Structure 1
């Protein structure tokens, strides 16, 4: 949404209707500026139940939290910060004091290792569903759990070992905690097991992802099937869904693989078969390293599926390749991996072609459409360094519902941008596509930006990288009032801003009067312009 439209929306719709609003969501990188406009009317939002704020700067988070106590019915809160928080524990405490909060999702990353809050407290939160996307140590988790006795669902994106010595654990009775989802990094199985014994005895659904961390030797202990059997049988008697993924870096040696596969084959005993918990593994080549991924194959798994040339090997169940795969996000490492795959992804809405994906000599549309319905894709990421732009256009022709496109670069092989725009398929895609957000990682020239805008005339949000000498020319083109193809564009991000970009761009806009009303700011080392 443009700055002008937001201000009109605030003045003529939000403010007159504040007493009726039940849900409010902000996702603009200038969310902090929007919130400043909302503060004066906070006391009137008496029926607000759900507040979601994405992409907010850390300096404004505490101010927003301080105003939340004015909302008597707030039951759902989502705050995603885009840079580092200084006073993380203070914000945790203020959130936990909100008297009606039931659902809370936060991303409040801290630069330094924070000590946990005190567990000696009589303050308890009514939160039932807690999602933390930033890094949390085991000590911090212990202090957090001590304050949420009503907790039912817990999800952590990055659980790690504490910087200081492990806090001695006292069992906390969490009678209602039945759903747990954890991504573990450098957490020893001993410490993880201790947490299970103290806090997770009521858990019914457990989702665990053990990420690979360099120089962390305890990673393989999570593949001890006998230890898992004992832990589940003794301390999680109600568990009926065990969703497990383990990443491990192999050295490519025959003995190393042989040892690894012997260990994971232990997950084929009667204990796992009786519970219908089956697993597969695959090897992926990422740059110069080989990674082994061991994971559950049950129907509630997997959101993200990787296709590599090394075919999956199943443990205890038929291969999913001959069935419909439930993944919503598919990543492909090579053309051969795509062509060898014999299953299908009927639920796929996101597709990523990794940087190792070969430069296609011919169209890949038919091969892709064989394994997934391209028409239902909404996000397309092409990280491949050598993907010709004409084939991107052809792929977009078959993916008319893509609204977010991520490209490594725009490569024109043996054709200039003018000739490209004259092609019939280019003109058809330009008319029919609904792409609103484009991200390009590599530096783009003026010619390539012009080509891009011609292809996506409904573009609202553009993220680019550019050369210093092209800044003024590209800015003039994108901000020109005579450019009909950029009439919807209202947010520009320069992902690798140089030292003087902000001053130069501000001066250019003001001197040449390119915009009447705008905000320009450096946020998390990126330059943002909103108008």
Structure 2
């Protein structure tokens, strides 16, 4: 939004100096700002071939290039590689890879990444472990690489200690996030003595890292060794810190004066061991976030007070997250322990807490956490709030939460928290069933509905009409996961659905259902680009045959399909379907015998240039414009649509408005959108000033179109 405001301000300042009669009158500097507003590949596709001036702006632009290769069709990637990557590799500053086919292409190409000499930020997701060592060797040759994010597939990484040492050798690295073995169990780690991270012995080979995030399991005896490589480290986050069942906890004291921000998920590290960790390593910490095991000592307020006063003199923020299942009788013991956190010490520090409990027969679930500040990115609504230690009765603002899980209807209705920054929403159990259905009005009281971009629905058996209502209330969803969820047979709403629009582009379906039901469900997402289907048995062959048919215009933008957990006997049938001449071109990749990824060409909806529309006794041809009650209308895709005269300085504003509020206008746009090749060859002023533009035409200049 700030960038858009800057562009608008620049337009206003230019227009105050002289009259701008067409879009091309804007200064080159302003166009460069506009290109920054779009994703680079999208802006290249939109503007490069408009005329020679735009082409020169791209060729001679001094601005660095930021490339995001996530959801692209094969043809667009090949075009981008030939026209952007190869000629401008020295200007690339950011590179993000997540498509497995594109990852393979980059990593199997002969030292391609070595040529990005000005690369500063490199992010790679779902890389296979076999590529890691060679990749890190290539990265050693990049003198400006300051940010690195590596997220490995769920494969076992055997040489993790060498990989860590390679990362620490990157000479300019300041920020690093590593996810090598995120699901590795404690026992497995403890047996790998040969793969421990050794202490740094070369005093001239320290890493310049200041931020390190490890989504991996680190054994306690490795921590001192790991910190010996990074003396300038200020922020440390470890997803799983554990003790070994075979080795006594041994925490070597280390001077780490710079380490002030620490976030730890303490797998099986009990309080006595954690106390040693604070005394020997973390005594300089100013901000502490911990998620603890079910050790009752972590709820001993007096021990915490003593530890903080004696060994944590600089602590400013204390954030604890404690979760335990226990007997209903012992639940009262926990209540008494938690009451101790209301003493003057905690109140003077302005550290407040909340206590939730849920009784389940003879057992209960207890959740105790900090509320001031609450710094977790995820929160679950499933336990009843018992009390808070704060004296305030105001609604608690949970600003750090980006992922909200809803598992209990009553907790949602009675929720006193507000989550202003939530973008990911998860429903669990049966909360979409009619008797438990939570209306959008209730949801809007606890988070802004329009902010949700990702929706996950688990273990629900609901009516399709309620699903439609939910999607309607969340207009900006881009990603949807339906996991073991079923819909009642109310698919008779299909006529209503045909006129329903959504922005969902990434869908995961983990449902066993008939082909017609799967077909109907997939057709519900006309902007679908990536589809994941996971089921042991079902209609794999039929749905692939349907989706990839050259005649299928229901999902024209679909470019990636991931088939997971299918019956091995279907593999040959699926491969036979892919060889058919009726199927568009597809590249396939098999990660295992039950797992196939497909990368396919997109198909544009068919055009109809010879249609006519009858109005007031006259036949109107395609592109013909008429005026009705003082408003302009244009025949677009065989329908009469509202048209706009967007000349000069108003053009950019009109396109921007169309991109931002297209959901409110989509009822005026036919479900089958045309994309005529001639449109992108014209000047923007010719498209929208001389011949007028409908909303459908304007949004072709949006990044997502």
The answer to whether the superposition gives a TM-score over 0.5 is yes
Q: 2:494 aligns with which of 421, 425, 431?
A: 421
Q: CA deviation at 1:102?
A: 1.2
Aligned match of 1:119 = 199
Distance 1:24 1:389, change over 3 A: same
Matched, 1:179 2:248: no
Matched, 1:497 2:566: yes
Q: CA deviation at 1:319?
A: 5.2
Aligned match of 1:479 = 548
Q: CA deviation at 1:309?
A: 5.6
What CA distance in whole angstroms lies between the structure 1 residues aligned with 2:288 and 2:593?
Answer: 34
SS of the aligned residue for 2:510 comes to: strand
What CA distance in whole angstroms lies between the structure 2 residues aligned with 1:134 and 1:125?
Answer: 19
What CA distance in whole angstroms lies between the structure 2 residues aligned with 1:524 and 1:68?
Answer: 32
Aligned match of 1:510 = 579
Contact 1:410/1:444, CA 8 A, preserved across alignment: no
Instruction: Spell out, residue by residue over 1:361-400, the C-alpha distance to the aligned partner (whole angstroms, 9 max, x if none).
Output: 4662222223322111111112142122221111111111
What CA distance in whole angstroms lies between the structure 2 residues aligned with 1:524 and 1:312?
Answer: 50
SS of the aligned residue for 1:458 comes to: coil
Contact 1:79/1:107, CA 8 A, preserved across alignment: yes
What CA distance in whole angstroms lies between the structure 1 residues aligned with 2:389 and 2:508?
Answer: 39
Aligned match of 1:441 = 510
Contact 1:502/1:521, CA 8 A, preserved across alignment: no
What CA distance in whole angstroms lies between the structure 1 residues aligned with 2:388 and 2:426?
Answer: 24
Q: CA deviation at 1:475?
A: 0.9
Contact 1:279/1:317, CA 8 A, preserved across alignment: no
What CA distance in whole angstroms lies between the structure 2 residues aligned with 1:65 and 1:9?
Answer: 25
Q: CA deviation at 1:207?
A: 0.6
Contact 2:351/2:373, CA 8 A, preserved across alignment: no
Superposed counterparts of 1:387-466, under 5 Å = 387-409=462-484, 411-416=486-491, 419-423=492-496, 426-429=497-500, 431=501, 433-466=502-535
Q: CA deviation at 1:334?
A: 2.5
Distance 1:440 1:475, change over 3 A: same
Q: 1:386 aligns with which of 442, 456, 461?
A: 461
Q: 2:250 aligns with which of 161, 165, 168?
A: 168
What CA distance in whole angstroms lies between the structure 2 residues aligned with 1:184 and 1:316?
Answer: 26
Q: 1:44 aligns with which of 108, 115, 119?
A: 115
Give the alignment's TM-score, normalised by structure 2: 0.69
Q: 1:93 aligns with which of 162, 165, 182?
A: 165
Distance 1:228 1:307, change over 3 A: same
Aligned match of 2:297 = 221
Aligned match of 1:215 = none
What CA distance in whole angstroms lies between the structure 2 residues aligned with 1:129 and 1:465?
Answer: 37
Q: 1:204 aligns with which of 276, 281, 286?
A: 286
What CA distance in whole angstroms lies between the structure 1 residues aligned with 2:343 and 2:116?
Answer: 57
What CA distance in whole angstroms lies between the structure 2 residues aligned with 1:316 and 1:19?
Answer: 55
Q: CA deviation at 1:513?
A: 5.7
Instruction: Spell out, residue by residue over 1:78-121, the C-alpha distance to the aligned partner (whole angstroms, 9 max, x if none).
Output: 10001221211111111111111111110111574233222251
Gaps of 5+ in 1: 213-218
Instruction: Spell out, residue by residue over 1:198-221, the C-alpha distance to the aligned partner (whole angstroms, 9 max, x if none).
Output: 111211111111145xxxxxx212
Q: CA deviation at 1:302?
A: 4.1
Aligned match of 2:78 = 7
SS of the aligned residue for 1:293 comes to: strand
SS of the aligned residue for 1:119 comes to: coil
Contact 1:42/1:70, CA 8 A, preserved across alignment: no
What CA distance in whole angstroms lies between the structure 1 residues aligned with 2:306 and 2:114?
Answer: 54
Superposed counterparts of 1:60-75, under 5 Å = 60-75=131-146
Distance 1:504 1:135, change over 3 A: farther
Q: CA deviation at 1:164?
A: 3.1
Give the alignment's TM-score, normalised by structure 1: 0.91
Compare CA radii of gyration and give the structure with the larger one: 2
Matched, 1:349 2:423: yes
What CA distance in whole angstroms lies between the structure 1 residues aligned with 2:116 and 2:279?
Answer: 43
Matched, 1:233 2:313: no
Matched, 1:84 2:156: yes
Gaps of 5+ in 2: 1-71, 601-705
Which deviates more, 378-387 or 306-315?
A: 306-315
What CA distance in whole angstroms lies between the structure 2 residues aligned with 1:21 and 1:286?
Answer: 56
What CA distance in whole angstroms lies between the structure 1 residues aligned with 2:361 and 2:516?
Answer: 31
Contact 1:30/1:56, CA 8 A, preserved across alignment: no
What CA distance in whole angstroms lies between the structure 2 residues aligned with 1:142 and 1:356?
Answer: 46
What CA distance in whole angstroms lies between the structure 1 residues aligned with 2:360 and 2:77?
Answer: 43
SS of the aligned residue for 1:60 comes to: helix
What CA distance in whole angstroms lies between the structure 2 residues aligned with 1:404 and 1:12?
Answer: 30
What CA distance in whole angstroms lies between the structure 1 residues aligned with 2:167 and 2:503?
Answer: 38
Aligned match of 1:277 = 351
Which deviates more, 88-97 or 25-34?
A: 25-34
Distance 1:484 1:496, change over 3 A: same
Over 4 Å off, 4+ runs: 284-289
Aligned match of 1:58 = 129
Q: 1:105 aligns with which of 177, 194, 203?
A: 177
Q: CA deviation at 1:512?
A: 4.5
Q: CA deviation at 1:70?
A: 1.6
Which deviates more, 33-42 or 224-233?
A: 33-42
What CA distance in whole angstroms lies between the structure 1 residues aligned with 2:363 and 2:238?
Answer: 27
Matched, 1:158 2:240: yes
Which deviates more, 25-34 or 66-75?
A: 25-34
Instruction: Spell out, residue by residue over 1:264-289, the C-alpha distance to the aligned partner (whole angstroms, 9 max, x if none).
Output: 11111111111100000112479996
Matched, 1:134 2:205: no
Contact 2:111/2:138, CA 8 A, preserved across alignment: no
Instruction: Spell out, residue by residue over 1:224-260, the C-alpha distance to the aligned partner (whole angstroms, 9 max, x if none).
Output: 1111111111111111011111111122x2x311101
